[in-house]
């Protein structure tokens, strides 16, 4: 674009000399490769009196509580999907029998509940091992409690 023998005077298109243009180009390239984040390298204290900060999301809880909450969320989602499907089916058909829809969409729920109850009763009893040194008198009692009725009557056996 410029002939080789152009003096190092101010160029008309940039308003800079060749040396100034080269310096500006080096500065732009250096700015492009400069890190945009800063990491604090100061050592973090090992312990202190500041309490832990609750993070956003689910609140802190035990593993069993976390598992139970996930199970409840999944069950609620599945129930709403089944109910929504039944509602759409009844609305679209305009003559669907609500009793038949309840039986068709409620059968899987009843089956799952029955299987869960069966699985709960088939759990093996835990093995209990006691190790004593010296004379020991041991009694074992099993209490079965039943509460029934509108006015609660509790029977212990």
Query: DSSP labels for 7-67?
Result: -SS--TTTSS-HHHHHHHHHHHHHHHTS-S-----SPPPS--SPPPPPPSSSPP--HHHHH
pLDDT in tens, 91-131: 888 877 778 777 777 787 788 888 888 877 777 777 888 88
Domain boundaries, the chain: 65-122
**Does residue 4 carry a pLDDT above 60?**
no
Distance, in Å, from the CA atom of 125 to the CA atom of 120, rounded to the nearest integer, reads 11
* pLDDT value of position 8: 55
The angle subtended at Cα 138 by Cα 132 and Cα 144, nearest 5°, is: 130
What are the structure tokens assigned to 89, written together? 């089916």
- Residue 86: closest CA among 112, 114, 107: 107
**Does residue 143 carry a pLDDT above 60?**
yes
Share of the chain residues as helix, strand and coil, in percent rounded to the nearest 5: 45, 5, 50
Cβ neighbours of residue 144 under 8 Å, at least 6 residues apart? 156, 157
């Amino acid at each position: 674009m410029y002939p080789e023998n152009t003096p190092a005077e101010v160029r008309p298109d940039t308003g800079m000399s060749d040396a100034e243009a080269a310096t500006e180009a080096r500065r732009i390239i250096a700015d492009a490769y400069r890190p945009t984040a800063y990491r604090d390298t100061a050592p973090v204290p090992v312990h202190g009196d500041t309490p832990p900060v609750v993070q956003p999301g689910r609140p802190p809880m035990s593993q069993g509580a976390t598992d139970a909450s996930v199970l409840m969320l999944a069950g609620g989602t599945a129930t709403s999907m089944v109910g929504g499907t039944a509602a759409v089916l009844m609305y679209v058909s305009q003559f669907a029998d609500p009793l038949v829809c309840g039986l068709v969409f409620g059968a899987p729920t009843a089956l799952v509940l029955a299987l869960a109850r069966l699985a709960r009763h088939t759990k093996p009893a835990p093995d209990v091992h006691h190790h004593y040194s010296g004379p020991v008198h041991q009694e074992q009692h099993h209490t079965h409690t039943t509460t029934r009725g509108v006015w609660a009557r509790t029977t212990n056996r």
